[in-house]
A and B are shown apart, each in its own frame.
Chain A
Amino acid sequence: MINDFHYLKPASLKEALAMYAQHDDCKVICGGQSLLIVMRQGMLAPEYLLDIKHVKELSYIKFDDKDGLRIGATTTHREIEKSDIIAKKYPVLVAMEQKLASIQTRNWGTIGGNLAHADPAGDPAPVLMALKANIKFGNEKGDNTMPLDEFFVDYFETKMDHGDLVLEVHVPAPEPKFGCAYQKFNLLDSDMGIVAAAAAVTLNADGTCKEARIVLGNAGPTPMRVTKAEDLLKGKKLDDKLFAEAGQIASEEAQPVADIHASEEHRRHVLGVLTKRMLKKAFEQAQKAA
């Protein structure tokens, strides 16, 4: 049963940061799609809930050819899914959002909330990491921007301290000859991923691999890069054999934990398959891209 709590409803970002700084036993809510579940299970019982749903300054999607994409923290999943500019410039984000839980959840849940929750099974983080996204967070005193790669610390733990709010996600402008793909493995399309893999490939003018990024979801305490496999691909002319090898490395580097939904062995196996497939898909996209 959810505990009784005091409800704080700031009207502006400034007020939100001030309130958060003032209240120690306080959790941020902005849709509650993650928080309410753990509160209902009694795992969290905060005295204060700070609802930033109405902080309009944090709800935006901006794109600039040079600067790239900036998404405000309280932007909902559904807004991202339905954004024309994102569909055009980063179709992988839209495809990911379309399979993130249900429409009801996407209508309420926000990108900032999802990343702050730091569930290693979350869908957006692996894709954003493959896209080299940065995250901006801050408190009353100032803000801080870092690559999303460095943001996650452990299960449900990030670099943010008490008083910090996620402010913005920044995705660099798409490079030429670039492709990115994401897939989660689950039994029902919109269910949480048992495991997941995102891959991004950038090609040189001669068709060799300029850069590859591989990020696994739910394969350890945080979304994880598989740099060993990325390095393997760099500078090479990519083919199925290399994708399979990279998949094998991903499968070995992963640290998945068994539960009722799949054994550790099966998770490793599927991570390998997904890595191989997503690399191939990203590579094919990159080949076709301008």
Chain B
Amino acid sequence: MSHAKYSVINTPVHNIDGIAKVTGRATYTFDVTLPGMLHGKILRSPHPHAKIINIDATRAMELSGVKIVVTGKDTLGIKQGIWRRYEELCDEQVLPLEKVRYIGEPVAAVAAITEEIAEAALDLIDVEYEVLPAVYEPLEAIKKEAPTIHEGVERNVNVTRHIEWGDVDEAFEEADYIREDWFKCSGQAHMCMETRAAVSSFTPEGKLTCWASTQSAYYTQGLLAGVLGLREGDVRVLAPYVGGGFGGKFELDAAMFCSAVMSMKLHKPVKVIFTREEDFIASKRRTPMFYYVRTGMKKDGTFCARESRMFSNGGAYTGMGATALYLSGFFHSFPYKWRGYRYDGYRVYTNTLPSTSMRGFGAPQAMFCSEQQIDWMCADLGLDPFEVRRKNGHTEGYEVPGQAFIASCGLEQCINEIEKWVKAKGKMPPNRGIGISSCGFMSGGIFNWFDSPYSFSSAVVTINVDGTVELHVGCQDIGQGSNTTMAIIAAETLGVKMEDIKVHSGDTTHCPADLGAWGSRQTLMAGNAVKMACEDAKKQLLEFAYAEMGINIVYDLDIKDRWVHIVARPERGLDYFELVKKVLRAKDGQRVVGRGYYTPHRKGMISPAYSYMMQAVDAEIDPETGRIKIHEVMTAHDCGQPINPLGLIGQLEGAASMALGYAYLEDMPFEDGKLMNPNLVDYKVIKAPEMPPTGIIEIDTYEPEGPYGAKEAGEGLTNPTAAALGNAVYNALGIQMKELPITPERILKALREKKEQEAQK
């Protein structure tokens, strides 16, 4: 259903920064070295909950090479948070003044002439704590007698979220079958290749420059200015290359904050790089969730109502957790039509590592519960899980009552394709099963909790006299390839080639503001801004071309492959480069500048557009040891018009690796508030040689709100996998996995329980 023949879009291209990366020329924050630069290290709390009575840095300052030690007292003490529109959710002092709330929380920072000296100095800082009782699990922390983690926060409930539509109780009454289950979803580390990192340089002129590993240079700029008492314009954030984010890098972190605080005091550049262990214990994580799900269905498989309650382990601070709380509840309804839907989410503070957003933003947890329960209900009623999903699935033009409008939806085709694929595989051997799961995801959030006065996305395009194009964008490339995506959209719109475009990003001074890389927003939002900017510039070129060519005004002009031509008569035209030269002369030597922006208006509560998908996981389980072997992952996927098919494959494979990890490998066990596996020996991630084959079937749809019909592709692909694996285990062995990750021990336990139940019958 392609609406146009594209010259650049949908042609596979390698990332435009790929060569710089693989040859080691790409300058990550880690690589930044400035004259006179000092190295910072952070002292962290050994206690999950304790009052800070006194911090004495005398001995540390005596160590030769140590230049400064700072604590909360050396800061403005501002409680910050990324939900800066809501004061009560700004609850985190990066260097706390009064108490620490989790093991690993920063209490002091040191800068010294070498990293080794800074590290040695940490042992010489004497901190006196008064240890307080601590609580680690949300269902404990919400009890009346639980210790108070934040003063004045009753029962440690940080945020609540209620979502409801339809008459839920009445809809339940129509159900022939109602099922309820409890689920427990674990946390997960973002595990970016690049750990948190920042280099701050404050100069006597009162200007701060901060190289940061961030998903949003603009957010980092705003947050740093806020906590340091500077004007936003006096803070320049640079993030030319970022080694991954996955939802964990758009808040203010201790590397940014501590390096900036120390640089401001010393007027010297300070670099802070987290070790891998620090990244594990003190950089937030995917939100662990307890889900109660009650679903009502008619005998024929028609969905009636769903009611869910969710308690999430918020850890010590809010972070992005408030958004995850909402999105988990919203996507828990996806991708189905419910007559009545009710969700109550409670985010509870505990004395553990704060939880936050992570690729999928609460949806992988929600889908793990929903998509498994649907399969079990189908089995209970003897219904076909494909048919039931088709029957209840979203369709084009559907409105999620009061929440969202679905302008494009390829869900049914996704289900059909996966059904074909599964059926073609035939009957599975013993102990092997295929599980399915469908879901959808947003293409950027509509919310503005950051209270940005700027457009959500902006772009500026400048055409030089030789026809080369400078594209300035605020969207942030964190390895996902957004700069390449933007270059493709620019090249397509302007009618030039990829090599004509130079993308500038990751610089708050020279690039326009943009909310950055989160919630799968950039392809749609920044893509629209780029398209608009390029259309603006192109219009200026074409205006001149009309005059130059002296053609009848009823004709349309366009540019494709550097050829400016009459659309109806493509052979009549001008060379693009010649045209640009003339236009500049006509503009008194001014370069052609186009501007574009995008802010969603009247697009519901959540997002301007939604992707859809169904995934199948083929897995085999050793019933004696419980070990899982994944044979294959196949995904049918509707992301509207794909922009770069190669980028899409990269996103799919990355998502499958991360989501399979979440499903059966990755876990963050805590004992008395202490993370038990903060290293890459004990924290298991799938390595390249162990990746099972993954495939993708692209479903062609056109999203009217997206640039060239494009929507989300990448984050949403993390959502279905844990549920699909759970369903595969169910189909292979007949056991219901209600807890993540699905480990061998949990499988054997479920098998034993099943045996016992069968014996009782």
Interfacial residues, chain A to chain B (CB-CB below 8 A): 1, 37, 102-103, 185, 187-192, 260-263, 266, 269-270, 273-274
C-beta contact mask, B620-636 vs A, less than 8 Å → 1, else 0?
Answer: 00001101100000000
Contacting pair A185 B625 (CB below 8 A): yes
Whether A260 and B682, one on each chain, are in contact in the complex, defined by CB atoms closer than 8 angstroms, is yes
Q: Which 10 pairs, one residue from A and one from B, show the smallest C-beta to C-beta distance?
A: A273-B624, A260-B676, A266-B745, A188-B690, A260-B669, A270-B625, A273-B625, A187-B665, A1-B119, A189-B690
Within 8 Å by CB of A190, from B115, B682, B687, lies B687
Report if B73 contacts A (CB, 8 A): no
Are A102's CB and B687's CB within 8 A? yes
- A187's partner among B624, B664, B677, B681 (CB-CB below 8 A) is B664
Chain B min CB distance to A131 (Å)? 25
Nearest-CB residue, chain B, relative to A1:
B119
CB-defined contacts of B76 to chain A, threshold 8 Å: none
B21: chain A residues within 8 A (beta carbon): none
Q: How far is the CB of A183 from chain B (nearest CB, A)?
A: 10
- Told that A102-B689, A187-B664 touch, could you supply 19 new A-B pairs with CB distance under 8 A? A1-B116, A102-B687, A185-B627, A187-B628, A187-B684, A188-B687, A189-B689, A190-B687, A192-B681, A260-B667, A260-B669, A262-B744, A262-B745, A263-B745, A266-B744, A266-B745, A266-B748, A269-B625, A273-B624
Residues of A within 8 Å of B627, CB to CB, are 185, 187
A192 to B677, CA, bound (A): 15
Say whether B624 contacts A1, CB under 8 Å. Answer: no
A188 and B665 contact, CB distance less than 8 A: yes
CA distance A187 to B746 in the complex (A): 13
In the complex, what residues of A have CB within 8 A of residue B686's CB? Answer: 188
Shortest distance from the beta carbon of B222 to any chain A beta carbon, whole Å: 34
Shortest CB–CB separation between residue A256 and chain B, in angstroms? 13
Minimum C-beta distance from B687 to chain A (A): 7
Give B668's nearest chain A residue, CB to CB.
A260
Q: Is the interface of B mostly helix, strand, loop or mixed?
A: loop
- Chain A residues with CB under 8 Å of B687's CB are 102, 188, 190
Instruction: Name the distance in Å between A286's Cβ and chain B's nearest Cβ.
Output: 23
Cα A190 to Cα B116 with chains together (Å) = 34
Minimal Cβ-Cβ distance residue in B for A37 = B681
In whole angstroms, how far apart are the Cα atoms of A181 and B216 in the complex? 53
Sampled A-B contacts (28; CB under 8 Å): A1-B116, A37-B681, A102-B687, A185-B625, A185-B627, A187-B628, A187-B664, A187-B684, A188-B665, A188-B686, A188-B687, A189-B690, A190-B689, A260-B669, A260-B682, A261-B682, A262-B744, A262-B745, A263-B745, A266-B744, A266-B745, A266-B748, A269-B625, A269-B748, A270-B625, A270-B744, A273-B625, A274-B625
Please report the C-alpha to C-alpha distance between residue A235 and residue B682 in the assembled complex, in whole angstroms. 43
Residues of B within 8 A of A1 (CB): 115-116, 119
Task: Report Cα–Cα, A263/B748, bound state, in Å.
Answer: 12
Smallest CB gap from B629: residue in A: A189
B684 and A260 contacting across the interface, CB-CB below 8 Å: no
A102-B687, A102-B689, A270-B625 known; A187+B676 contact, CB < 8 A? no
State whether A260 touches B677 (Cβ < 8 A).
yes
- Chain B hits for A188, CB < 8 A: 665, 684, 686-687, 690
CB <8 Å contact, A187 and B115: no
Nearest-neighbour CB distance to chain B for A109, whole angstroms, equals 15
Distance (whole angstroms) from the CB of A275 to the closest CB of chain B: 12
Chain A residues near B677: list those with CB within 8 A: 260
Which residues of the other chain, A, contact B624 by a CB distance below 8 angstroms? Answer: 273
Q: In the bound complex, how far is the Cα of B676 from the Cα of A191, in angstroms?
A: 18
> Which of A1, A192, A274 has most chain B Cβ within 10 Å?
A1
Measured in the bound complex, the distance between the Cα atoms of B687 and A103 in whole Å is: 12
Cα-based distance from A102 to B690 in the complex (angstroms) = 10
Q: CB-nearest residue of chain A relative to B686?
A: A188
The docked-state distance in angstroms from the alpha carbon of A190 to that of B625 is 17
CA–CA, A210 and B210, complex, Å: 72
A1 to B681 CA separation, bound complex (whole angstroms): 17
Do B744 and A187 touch (CB < 8 A)? Answer: yes
State in angstroms the CA–CA spacing of A185 and B626 once bound together.
10
Give the CA-CA distance A263 to B690 in the complex, in Å: 25
Report the nearest A residue to B669, measured CB to CB. A260
In this complex, the member of B677, B681, B682, B745 whose beta carbon has the largest number of chain A beta carbons within 10 angstroms is: B745
Q: How far is the CA of A188 from the CA of B682 in the complex (A)?
A: 12
Contact string against A for B residues 739-754, beta-carbon threshold 8 Å, 1 for contact and 0 otherwise: 0000111001000000
Contact, CB under 8 Å: A190 / B745: no
Question: Closest residue of chain A to B683, judged by CB?
Answer: A260
Closest residue on chain B to residue A186 by CB atoms = B627
Chain B residues with Cβ below 8 Å from A189 are 689-690
